[in-house]
Structure 1
Amino acid sequence: MDALAAFLAAADASPLVSLHSLLVKVRGETKVEAYWTPYVASDRTLVYSASKTVAATAVGLAVGEGLFGLDDRIVDLLPESVPDGVDDRTAELTVHHILSMSTGHDADTLDAVRAAPDGDGARALLSIPPQTPVGSRHVYNNGASWLLGELVRRRTGGSLMAFLRPRLFEPLGIAPAWEVDRLGREWGFSGCRLTTRELSAIGELYLNDGVHDGRRVLPEGWVAAASTMHIDTRFEENPDWALGYGYQVWGGREGYRLDGAYGQFSFVLPEPEATITLTSGGIEGGKAVLELVFEHLVPALAEPWASPGELALPMPTDAGASGPWSAAVVPPRPVLAPGSVQGCVPEVTDARASRDGDRWTLALTWDGVPLSLAGGPGWTRQLVGPDNVPVALAMGTEGSDAVAHLVFTDTPHVLVVRLGARTGVAWLTSPLHGPALRDLRTWA
């Protein structure tokens, strides 16, 4: 069994791993590219905190253009957001401290940033005095990552996307999307939507010191600065997160990585000149996936691998029950093996399912929005709701119950709906941005 086959077998055997895509490049050549049905290459998925690296890249480009410097103080760059009587430690914060999440705070500042009544998240962050000396510690700080986008917006007078499009996206030939807040501002800390190839292209750009197709895209020296581990993270509980933090990238056993919740990764491995990019939806984030990558794939990058063949997410089995099934209310409850995440479950009512041979129909109301889905056999991709949210449906039966898997292909997330003796609804992994249906699709 070659390394790729061993990796796939181990992933398939683990209840903690759900792979959606894999793209491995060695010295610029594609070694393997694979997608687990119903996901396809064109899916532009939510990469969660891998978005942070994209926001940091915008900062690197701004620094390269002389818009501000790494050692510039935030209070000097955003004077209109400085609160009266600003704390002395806050006044010490520089762009470097924000990039490296070494602000001295002992907790994430994001809640305060997002709750700012006037929308001035920068003022909200600068109103929180660091509890320890600036630069003395690392605390994972989404509020700091939000501020990176705000710095670029304030200093350029435009959006983060408008700044990045001609400088980063167009040179790479990619077209990401990015979620925005109520004031139309990209989040910075999350919300970027990328295909697997686009995420890989950013990893490849960093691997090649900011050069793409012979053209320098990132300022000289930026990749070296960004990939230096500027702050100690040895107190992180998981050892793979205890190897240091750079400029919105995590240190790794080899190289470093772009890292998003539930296992949205691009590993940058300078020594073998490789990138390993994958998307997934595992229950324990990316911990189990990361372990398998370094156990099977990284040691064998120079070896030949066989084709992975056809790959697919698990579908409900079919015991042959005929239905129909209905429920006025579908309560949040475990519907599969223990471990499925229950947070942020939508209110599902008026659910009905029926079958005609291997063809299925499913109707339900999601937080007041009526939806109608059809499919079978296998996975059926379709658009649902007034916002045309992409979803793939697969249905089957367990005992006398109908079981539906709804894969929201612009995200890592799968919703399971069960109707019958054990009626219930649960996410296999819960959306971190909330369960609103419209947020489960890529924003134009």
Structure 2
Amino acid sequence: MDAAGIEAFVAAVAALDDAELHSLMVVRHGHVVAERWWEPYAAQTPHLLYSLSKSFTSTALAFAVAEGLVDLDATVLSYFPEFDARVTDARSRAIRVRHVAAMASGHDDETLDRARVAGDGDLVLGLLLLPPEREPGTFFAYNQPCTYALSAIVQRVSGGSLTDFLRPRLFDPLGISGYGWRKDRLGREIGYAGLYAPTEAIAKLGQLYLRNGEWDGRQLLSPEWVEEATRAHVATVRPEPDWDQGYGFQFWRARHGYRGDGAFGQFMVVLPEADAVVAITSQSPDMQGVLDALWSHLLPALTADGTSALSRPVPGGPVGAIAPALLEPGPGNGVTALLSVEVRPGELVLTDKGPAVTVPLGAPEAWTTTGPVASAYAWADGRLLVDVVFVETPHRLRLSLDLTGERFEAQWQTEPLGGPKLAQLRRPD
């Protein structure tokens, strides 16, 4: 491949206003031909995948179907007979497993909040208690409870969690480690999001699908399943060109190949035409911009026969003394959940309504990492500017600390979805 295409892609993404790469792996003809992590991220660090988790859930479904534990043509309700008397709508009762796999439950739009209320926290019950506006199987709507239903079915028929089910079937055979999946209050791994895994895990799952289910001489998934899961089952009418190519079983069709993706630019792009897989983690709300750059620069490099630094706080002015202080929110604070910032020798302590989070402070204008948190700092206009990166997620918190006035201001570069506590911005144990 043309190595210049890698650099052109990276430069094109860097030029976007709303995109920031954290990692990149490119696999072609079964070999890693390029890999890069941007400090403070690292190869072994798990990363929150958001909705890219859905493609792993789909793979769990594949194993359950192959083993006769789940029938794609059975109704969702049939796996939850305890709800039978409460679900009376004919369309709700007709929703099949294949319908929720393809985001085609018949609902007009996202039902997550309504389903959570209707089901008193059980998204399967909530989904079934909300009558679909259309016939199941006929209409696409990106709908988190659909994927949750898949994950709940697999967990029910297997008697364990998704990770328990996938460990001997997927994670161990592919040599994937360092993963963890968020659970809801019912103890279920949520399926539609919440998976933490390193970049290599994304690349390996993509390679498994690129090879039609074969891994190291073993046929883990059938070629028929790979074809069924990655073809368009339902049309998607979306303004972004790479979200308007149809939807499979928790996979998006794209202008080139197909992919799994997650909020803020977590990508698994499978390119059969180039015999390649591209794995990306990032903090990139402009996801279409990242794909545009991939098609313009990286794809031509693949079809033709390191480490950098993230931006740090802008330095300016002399380095000041970091004296101990307890800071309260200032008038420009944009993160109301952050209650205080305590400055201690060599560290900050951030307090919200959850457990306090300790942030290391090392040398000025250099990244210092402790566990799931990294920071870099600089001085500007008499304020201490600190970037706090939660390295197992796409998210960065920017702090401006007025040590003399004992006030702080904070802003998320990309705000975490679901409003988690700071201490929850890490892979679950």
The answer to whether TM tops 0.5 is yes
Following superposition of structure 1 onto structure 2, how do residues 198-209 of structure 1 map, counting pairs within 5 Å?
Answer: 198-209=201-212
Q: What is the one-letter code of the residue matched to 1:53?
A: S
Does residue 217 (structure 1) correspond to residue 202 (structure 2)? The answer is no
Quote the offset at 1:4 in angstroms: 1.4
1:349 to 332, 340, 348: 340
Q: Which moved more, 1:153-162 or 1:32-41?
A: 153-162
- The correspondence of residues 19-58 of structure 1 with structure 2, limited to 5 A, is 19-58=21-60
Deviation larger for 321-330 or 117-126: 321-330
Give the drift of 1:178. Answer: 0.7
Matching of residue 311 in structure 1 with residue 311 in structure 2: no
Amino acid at match of 1:196: T
Greater shift in the superposed pair: 74-83 or 190-199: 74-83
Deviation readout 1:204-255 (Å, 9 max, x if unpaired): 111111110110111341100001100001x212121111110001111111
Q: Which residue of 2 aligns with 1:387?
A: none
Percent identity of paired positions between Structure 1 and Structure 2: 39
Which residue does the alignment assign to 1:365? 351
Residue 171 of structure 1 deviates from its aligned partner by 1.0
1:301 aligns to what SS in structure 2? Answer: helix
Distance in 1 (CA, whole Å) between partners of 2:39 and 2:132 is 47
Letter in 2 for 1:349: S
Aligned equivalents of 1:44, 1:83: Cα separation in 2:
42
Cα distance per residue 1:40-98 (max 9 Å; x no partner): 00011110000011111111111111112211122223222234351111122111100
Q: 1:401 pairs with 380, 383, 396, which one?
A: 383
User: Matched residues in 2 for 1:127 and 1:67: separation?
Assistant: 25
C-alpha distance in structure 2 between counterparts of 1:85 and 1:3, whole Å: 54
Shift in alpha-carbon separation, 1:330–1:85, aligned structure 2, 3 A: closer
Q: What residue number does 2:175 align with?
A: 173
SS at match of 2:206: helix
Counterpart amino acid of 1:365?
T
Q: Quick check: 2:181–2:189 contact (8 Å CA) kept in 1?
A: yes
Q: Deviations over 1:77-127 (max 9, x none)?
A: 322223435111112211110000011101222224434666543222111
Q: Unmatched 5+ residue regions in structure 2? A: none
Corresponding position of 1:329: 328
Letter in 2 for 1:287: Q
- Is the Cα–Cα contact under 8 Å of residues 119 and 125 in structure 2 kept in the other structure? no
The structure 2 residue matched to 1:426, chosen from 411, 414, 419, is 411
Code of the aligned partner of 2:412: W
Given the superposition, is the C-alpha separation of residues 424 and 59 from structure 1 closer, same or farther in structure 2, using an over 3 Å criterion? same
1:413-432 C-alpha deviation (Å, 9 max, x unpaired): 10011013894101101111
Instruction: Write out aligned runs for 1:255-266 (5 A).
Output: 255-266=257-268
Q: CA deviation at 1:328?
A: 3.3
More displaced, 314-323 or 193-202? 314-323
User: Given residue 374 of structure 1, which amino acid in structure 2 is its aligned partner?
Assistant: L
- Residue 20 (structure 1) shift: 0.2
The CA distance in 2 between the partners of 1:209 and 1:300, in whole Å, is 24
**Mean alpha-carbon deviation: is it higher for 269-278 or for 102-111?**
102-111
Q: For 1:161 and 1:36, how far apart are their aligned partners in 2?
A: 28
Tell me the secondary structure at the aligned position of residue 274 of structure 2: coil
**1:374 corresponds to 2:384:** no
Q: Distance in 1 between matches of 2:262 and 2:103?
A: 16
- Conserved? CA contact 1:330–1:423, under 8 Å: yes
The RMSD of aligned alpha carbons is: 2.2
**Change over 3 Å in CA distance of 1:114–1:348 after alignment to 2:** same
> Would you identify which runs of 4 or more consecutive aligned residues in structure 1 move more than 6 Å?
none
Structure-2 separation of matches of 1:158 and 1:364: 36
Question: Do 2:70 and 2:154's aligned partners in 1 also have CA atoms closer than 8 Å?
Answer: no
Q: Distance in 2 between matches of 1:189 and 1:229?
A: 19
* Contact 1:241 1:251 survives alignment (8 Å): yes
Distance 1:108 1:99 in 2: 15
Instruction: Give the Cα–Cα distance (whole angstroms) in 2 for the partners of residues 161 and 361 of structure 1.
Output: 35
Offset of 1:350 from its aligned partner?
Answer: 4.2
Listed one character per residue, the Cα deviations across residues 171-207 of structure 1 (whole Å, up to 9, x for unaligned) are: 1111221111122210111001110001110011111
Instruction: Tell me the distance in 2 between the aligned counterparts of 1:216 and 1:85.
Output: 39
User: Residues 270-311 of structure 1, C-alpha deviation per residue, up to 9 Å, x if partnerless?
Assistant: 111100111000233x2221111111101111447xxxx431
Match of 1:141 in 2: 143
Q: In structure 2, how many angstroms separate the alpha carbons of the residues matched to 1:368 and 1:76?
A: 39
Deviates more, 1:248-257 or 1:5-14: 5-14
- Write the letter of the residue equivalent to 2:70: F
2:195 to 192, 204, 212: 192
Alignment of 1:277-296 (within 5 A): 277-284=279-286, 286-296=287-297
1:39 CA drift (Å): 0.3
Amino acid aligned to 1:151: I
